[in-house]
Structure 1
Amino acid sequence: MQKLIWIALATGAALFTAATVAMNDTADMALQRAKPAAAAPLDGKRPVVVEFFTSQGCSSCPPSDRLAAKLAREPGVLVIQRPVTYGDRLGWADTLASPTNTALQQAYARSGLAGRNGVYTPQAVIAGRGGLVGSQERALRQQIAEAGKLAAPAVRLRTKPDGVTEIMIDGTGIGRAQVLLVGLDSDETVSVSRGENGGRSLSYTNIWKGERALGTLSGGEASFMVDAAEKIIAGANRYAVIVRQGKAGPILAGQILP
């Protein structure tokens, strides 16, 4: 039986590492070491949204950050990095962290997220449905492939001559969902001077900077317009649209905007 210890927000620094978060039995760990991550091809038909919850104060997070950057270059994945705040107690205040990210991870934990649920770093959440340790590439790719098989609304993008982006979504049979514009910072490198990663430079990809609701999808087709004024979220230089059920529910679709 796997021995899993999940970190609550009240846990101390000694429980912060991913090794403490997920302690598998010896046989399972040996299996993971014996099977290096294979580059399982992603079909690229539509991106699966993967959110990475990490902290600059977490010494186990840099491998997850590197995996996030790797997946972000592949057509079958839309990566959103969501640095959290509770690692700040370990001696370094995360320069990219947001309380909104911490709150979302807590909400995922309360919702009964499938897989390795809880509040810990590094965690990857796949399509708002399942979670696992964010550095486990092989398992993560398997979950991405499975999420890509689920029914999802079709998203088409068109940029008009005036620069307005039209987002056309066919949600037939999907049910009610929110359509959100998400602001991202495409890449950042941070020099950490204290804490578990003191003396290291850490790189991040598609860091969450904010979001706003564009409207609601109620089944059938819907169209949303995004002009230049709406693409103003502090710190963002890239934008994506995601379709989510509820505040911390499944993410049904996502696309980077042109």
Structure 2
Amino acid sequence: MKRKYLITLSLFTILFFTSFTNMIPKKHNAVVVLELFTSQGCSSCPSADVLLDKVGKEYQDANVFTLSYHVDYWDYIGWKDPFSQKKFTEKQRLYAQKFNDNRIYTPAVIINGKEHFVGSNRLKMYAKIKEYKEKVSTNTISLGAIKQTANNIQFNYKITGDLSNTKARVVLAIQERTTEVKSGENARRTLKNNNIVVSEHYLTEVKKTGKYTINIPKIVTKNDQLTVLLILENDKLDILSADKLVVGF
């Protein structure tokens, strides 16, 4: 009788701890997303553009994703940045509101949606990447099954972890483009920009699995290599996870 009781107790213990373990969210390696707000009309931005390119190449296999958002508030100086969009300026303002900051500036980097610093600050950039890479995530994203036409890109996605109070955005970026700037603060300079965001849209609903089609804007040429990213964030704009696909014509 005692032996039967011990066996029953042992089985109960195993079931209890198994159930408890399943309730604990799985932890995964951290994802780092660096969003640089920049402009070809800003004289202090090229050094930040170069640093972001360098960092992106160094960490390309380490879940570190770099994006350049070109704002439009420098266009008045004399050079209209061909990649600038008003919606990216508004995006930066949303971050400023989150950080209780009454100003926006370039070059500015937002890391994982959680804090900002000057985008040309090399020491801080590497220190922050190291800091955020040591964190863990309870969500993962994986992308696949590309179907591409001249006008759009379709892909499948899978997201793990709790999706409560989250939203997801799809970002399309040109991997690299060189521009001869003819006027403004960077007149007579040839600038190289990387991971230039040309389109960004939020999913209407975040599901564990699904597919999405993103349209290719006219600014993209047949010589451009493209990157598609899916970024998961919470309602505070903190980035929880991300993944990317590299595509081209």
| Counterpart selection for 2:116 from 118, 131, 141 | 131
Cα deviation for residue 118 of structure 1 reads 3.7
Cα deviation for residue 213 of structure 1 reads 2.6
Identity of aligned residues (%): 29
The answer as to whether partners of 2:30 and 2:137 remain within 8 angstroms in 1 is no
| Counterpart selection for 2:156 from 146, 166, 185 | 166
Which residue matches 2:86?
99
Specify the code of the residue in structure 2 equivalent to 1:222.
K
Secondary structure of the structure 1 residue equivalent to 2:180: strand
The whole-number CA distance in structure 1 between the counterparts of 2:70 and 2:147 is: 36
The whole-number CA distance in structure 1 between the counterparts of 2:205 and 2:129 is: 25
The whole-number CA distance in structure 1 between the counterparts of 2:102 and 2:128 is: 14
The whole-number CA distance in structure 1 between the counterparts of 2:102 and 2:111 is: 12
Q: Which runs of 4+ in 1 moved over 4 A?
A: 160-164
Which residue matches 1:87?
74
The answer as to whether partners of 2:71 and 2:89 remain within 8 angstroms in 1 is yes
Point out where structure 1 has 5 or more consecutive residues left out of the alignment. Answer: 1-44
Q: Rg: which structure is higher? A: 2
Structure having the larger proportion of residues in strand = 2
Point out where structure 2 has 5 or more consecutive residues left out of the alignment. Answer: 1-28, 221-225
The whole-number CA distance in structure 2 between the counterparts of 1:49 and 1:202 is: 23
The whole-number CA distance in structure 1 between the counterparts of 2:179 and 2:186 is: 11
The whole-number CA distance in structure 2 between the counterparts of 1:189 and 1:53 is: 18
Cα deviation for residue 46 of structure 1 reads 4.8
Q: Deviation per CA, 1:29-75: give whole Å up to 9, x if none.
A: xxxxxxxxxxxxxxxx4541110011111111111000111122222
Q: Deviation per CA, 1:167-211: give whole Å up to 9, x if none.
A: 111123x63211221111111111111111111011111111112
The whole-number CA distance in structure 1 between the counterparts of 2:42 and 2:154 is: 40
Secondary structure of the structure 2 residue equivalent to 1:179: strand
TM-score, normalized by length of structure 2?
0.74
Cα deviation for residue 161 of structure 1 reads 9.5
Change (3 A) 1:200 1:224: same
